[in-house]
Amino acid sequence: MVFCGEATVLDVALCIVKGLVVQSLISCVATAVFGEAAAFMLKLVGIGQDTYGLIEAIKSKDPKEIVIATVRLAVSVFTLKSQCFAGDTLVSTEEGNRRIDEIKPGDKVLSYNTETGENELQEVKNVSVSKTDILVHIITDDGRDIETTMFHPFYVKNVKNEDGTGEWKAASNLKAGDELLSEDGNKVKVSEVKVEKLAEEITVYNLELDEVHTYYVAGGVLVHNMCATDNNSDTSDSEGGKNTKHGEQRLAERGFSQEKVDDIVNNYSQKVYQDGGRTVYAKKNGNYYDVIIKNSKGEIVTAVGGNTKSLKTWKNVIRMLNNNGGYSSLPMN
């Protein structure tokens, strides 16, 4: 419990902020390594802006503005964990579209790997269940009505980060004209965003996945599940050093021996950087390219084999990297 002293407007505002940050924010992300995951959540719900707004209000010494800014910050912090969908929301799975309230641990759903730009099946580790009496309706140009909680993250293609990739935006921050990413790579345009206050609470659901923390809802719209950790950074030993779990899986599935990996890395035809510190090694193997992608730690995050006929030319490889976002043409030859 946080106890406030003298009840001036300024003291109350500062005390509320101190209590929120110490109790709510830390409890919300204490299980995470206080780094990228926490920064992602804070940026998503705009807490940085709300904090700045409170500081400016305090400087103005206007009691009304201080109270309004304090409430805004309180709402943002207390709703950090509010990322779920209504039970009848359809999720893309290996068996087709299924209601999210019917999905169980062990089921596999379609996910988008932002490291590789590829769709892949991921196993559901846990289904989170909670209650809400506020829903955000995201209406799209093609008639979809996605019912979610206020701060569930959606991937927006037409809003770019500094590295050129799309941006994750909270549902309540979406606006008409935002372009969401669909599972077929096309854009789904938002036409309207509405907030509904329900007469009583309903049950809402979220999915915790095995490795890649994204999935598709409402016929194929990409969302994030807001997991605190990113298991793609987990490493496993191999003959050539350490690779991510996803990298090890791709090497095994696509028949990349250590000898083949070494050949691509040491005798590449093309070598370029991707934003985020990734390095791409590509070597022509007959009519098609073999591709190895390493992260900033030198760990292999994925491998794409010459049996992928879409990689017949270097331009095809660039297109694949562009689909991943953040491709930077910086040759290292």
Residues of the chain with CATH 3.30.1450: 245-323
Q: Give the pLDDT of residue 245.
A: 80
Inter-helix orientation angle 9-19/63-78, to 10°: 10
Q: How buried is residue 136: exposed, middle or buried, by Cβ count under 10 Å (0-12/13-18/19+)?
A: buried
Name residues whose C-beta falls within 8 Å of residue 170's C-beta, 6 or more positions apart in sequence.
Answer: 44, 45, 46, 150, 151, 152, 153, 154
Average the pLDDT over 284-297 and give the result.
Answer: 87
Strands (E), 141-230: 145-148, 153-160, 166-170, 179-181, 187-209, 214-217, 221-224
Q: Give the pLDDT of residue 246.
A: 78
For residue 174, the 8-state DSSP code is -
Q: What is the CATH architecture assignment of 85-224?
A: Beta Complex (2.170)
Q: In what order do the strands lie in the sheet with 300-304?
A: 270-274, 278-285, 288-294, 300-304
Angle 204-205-208 from CA coordinates, rounded to 5°: 160
Identify the three-state secondary structure at position 144.
Answer: coil
Contact 36, 230 (CB under 8 A): yes
Q: Domain 245-323, CATH 3.30.1450 — does that match?
A: yes
Name residues whose C-beta falls within 8 Å of residue 29's C-beta, 6 or more positions apart in sequence.
Answer: 37, 38, 41, 80, 228
Other Cβ atoms within 10 Å of 64 Cβ, number: 10
Residues of the chain with CATH 2.170.16.10: 85-224
Higher pLDDT, 202 or 151: 202
Name residues whose C-beta falls within 8 Å of residue 177's C-beta, 6 or more positions apart in sequence.
Answer: 158, 189, 190
Average the pLDDT over 156-185 and give the result.
Answer: 79
Number of H helices, E strands in the chain: 8, 18
Rounded Cα–Cα distance for residues 250 and 45 (Å): 34
Tens of pLDDT along 33-78?
334 444 444 444 444 455 556 566 667 777 777 666 665 555 554 4
Tens of pLDDT along 70-114?
655 555 544 444 568 889 999 999 999 999 999 999 999 999 876
Q: Give the pLDDT of residue 129.
A: 84
Q: Give the pLDDT of residue 275.
A: 59
Among candidates 208, 223, 90, 207, which has minimal Cα distance to 151?
223
Angle 158-46-211 from CA coordinates, rounded to 5°: 70
Higher pLDDT, 31 or 256: 256
Average the pLDDT over 277-293 and give the result.
Answer: 88
Q: Give the mean pLDDT of the chain.
A: 72
